[in-house]
Amino acid sequence: MTVPEPHLAGGCPYAERPGVTPLYGRTVAQDPHGLYARMRAEHGPVAPIELEPGVEAWLVIGYQELLELTRNEQQFSKDSRHWRVAAEGRLRPDSPLVPMTMWRPTLNNLDGAEHQRLSAAVGDTLARADQKRLRETSEAAALALIESWGPDGTADLVSQFTRRLPPLVFTTLLDLPDEDGPKLLGLIMNVVDSGADSHRASVELFGLLGELVRRRREHPGEDLVSWLLGHSAGLSDEEAVHNLLVFLVAGNETCVNWIGNAVRLLLVDRRFRGSLTGGRATVADALEEVLWRDPPIQNFPGRWATSDTVLGGQYISRGDMLVLGIAGANDDPAVHGPNDLSGNRAHLAWSAGRHVCPAKDPARLIVETAIETLLHCLPDLQLAVPAHELEWRPSPWSRALASLPVLYSAFAPPRPTDPVPFPSAGSAGSADPAPADPAPAASAPVTPERTAWTPQPQPGSAPTDSTPPEPTSSPRTGSSALSDLRRRLSSLVGWWSGR
C-alpha cells in the first residue's frame, strides 16, 4: 500500500512504521489478544498487515475507527472490484483469499440501494422462520448427535457436535428431500474446511442450490428458498443461489464457532461457571461474553477505499483493502475495562452500519438451544485435557477450536416424543425450577434432579431471559410431527456416523 511522503500529508510528521504483521499461519491462533495489543501499541487503531506474502491490507482494530469504516460506505465500499491488488494481477487464481474476496451479487458485496434490496429480502425471509420450529429442530439435532456418541463417556465436541449441528438444522430450514440432506452436509463441511476439496465442493454446492432454486421457482412451498424467491425484491435465480450460499457457509461457520467457544468458556472459566451455577448468569450471558472475548468471526474482509483518505492516523490509498478487526476492536481499551462485559451488547461481533448481520437472531436461537440441550443432557460435562492444551484453528478469519475433548457420565435422553427438559421460567417465585426427569433407560442412570448446570431457584427472583416464560411461549409441535423430525435427523446423523 502507498503511504504519502510527510510533505504530501500537509506537513504532518510521520515516523517510520515498524514491520508489517503477517495475518496468516499460526500467528493469529496462538495469542490473538496479545497480537492485537502489540499491533495497537506499534501502529495505533489501524495497522498494516499481509494477508499472504505480497498481499497487503490494513487491519482496523480501533472501536471508533471500525464504526467509521462500516458506516461510511461511500468512502469504504463493500464492492471488492475496487481492490487494487486484484486489479494489478497480484492475487493468485488459487489463492485461499479468492473465495473470501471475490465479487458476487450478494448483500455482502453491494452498497446503497442494491444492498438494501437484497438485505431486505434476506432479512424478511429469515424473519418468517417459525422460532418454535427452529428451537425444536435445534433440540432434535442436538439430541440426535449426543445419542450417536459411544458408550465410553468421551467425545470431541468440535467434530461430533458443533461442526455437525448447524448443517443438520439448515437441511430442515431448506426443506430438502431426504436424499439431498447427506450431500448438503458433506459439501458445506468441505467448503468451510478450506481443504483440497474446497473448490470442488463449492462448485457442487452451487449446483445443488441452483437445482433447489429451480424446483422451488416451479413448485414453491413453506421454506426459506420459496420465501426468498417470492419476496417483492424480485431476486433472480442467480442472486438467490449466491445469497443462499452466503447464508449456509457464513451461518454455519458462525454457529459452529460460537457454540464451541461458549462451551469452552463454561468449562474453563471458574468465575463464569460459578455465576451460572449460582443462578447469577445464564447461557445467554455466556453467549454475549463470548461475542466480546472470542467472537466466532474475529476478522472479516472487507472494505475497499474508493479514494485516498486517512483513518486512525494512517494514510489509506485508493483501492486499499481494510479488514474489519472485530476481536481487536472489541479489545480496544478505550471502550471498556477488563471486567465490563456482563450484560453489554455493544460488541461488534455482528459488524455495524448497514451491513450488520441479518441472521443474528436465528443464529442466537440455534446456538443457545444447542448449548442448553447439551448441558441439560450431560450435566457433569468437563474437559478431558488441561485447558492450556486446547488448540485453535490457524485461521485469520475464524476464532475456532480445532477440537474440544470432553468427558461425561452416562445419561438417559428423553423419549422421542418428550420435550427436552429445559428449565421453565413460568413459575412466579422461581427463576429456574428443576428440569423434568428424563425417561428411565435400562442401560444408563437417570440424570440427577439437581446438577452443576441447573441453578437452585432463588425465592422471589425474576425469570431469566434464557427461555421465554410459559404464558408467552409458543405451543410445541404435535408429538407425531416432532417424532418424525427426530427420526429424520437421527437418520442423517447415522449416515454421517457411518451407521
Distances (CA, A) of 368 to 322, 396, 407, 475: 32, 25, 21, 19
Fold of 6-497: Cytochrome p450 (1.10.630)
At what angle are helices 237-268 and 360-377 packed, to 10 degrees?
40
Q: Which helix (H) or strand (E) element contains residue 265? A: helix 237-268
pLDDT for residue 474? 43
pTM value?
Answer: 0.80
**Interacting residues of 16 by C-beta distance below 8 A, sequence separation 6+:** none
pLDDT tens digits for 376-401?
Answer: 899 889 999 999 999 998 888 889 99
pLDDT tens digits for 394-421?
Answer: 888 889 999 999 999 866 555 444 444 3
Q: How many residues would you count in the chain? A: 499
C-alpha gyration radius of the chain = 23
pLDDT for residue 100? 81
Strands 55-60 and 314-316: unpaired
Residue 126 one-letter amino acid: L
Strands 21-22 and 46-52: parallel
SS3 59: strand
Query: Comparing C-alpha atoms, which of 152, 153, 132, 133 is closest to residue 377?
Result: 153
**Interacting residues of 233 by C-beta distance below 8 A, sequence separation 6+:** 117, 118, 120, 121
pLDDT for residue 337? 57
Residue 187 one-letter amino acid: L
pLDDT for residue 8? 37
Strands 405-407 and 382-383: antiparallel
Residue 443 CA to residue 153 CA, distance in Å, equals: 13
Distances (CA, A) of 473 to 11, 357, 402: 63, 26, 36
Q: In which residue ranges of the chain is pLDDT below 70?
A: 1-18, 178-179, 181, 185, 189, 192-199, 277, 337-343, 410-480, 495-499
pLDDT for residue 19? 79
Strand ranges inside 27-184, DSSP E: 46-52, 55-60, 76-77, 154-156
Residue 278 CA to residue 401 CA, distance in Å, equals: 27
Contact 184, 167 (CB under 8 A): yes
SS3 103: coil
Query: Comparing C-alpha atoms, which of 21, 23, 26 is closest to residue 392?
Result: 26
pLDDT for residue 251? 85
pLDDT for residue 273? 75
pLDDT for residue 355? 85
Task: Report residue 285 as a C-alpha cell.
Answer: 450471558
How far, rounded to the nearest angstrom, does the alpha carbon of residue 240 sit from its chain's CA centroid?
A: 21
pLDDT for residue 44? 96
Residue 425 CA to residue 433 CA, distance in Å, equals: 7
Cα torsion 210, 216, 222, 225: sign: positive
Q: Which helix (H) or strand (E) element contains residue 64? A: helix 63-71
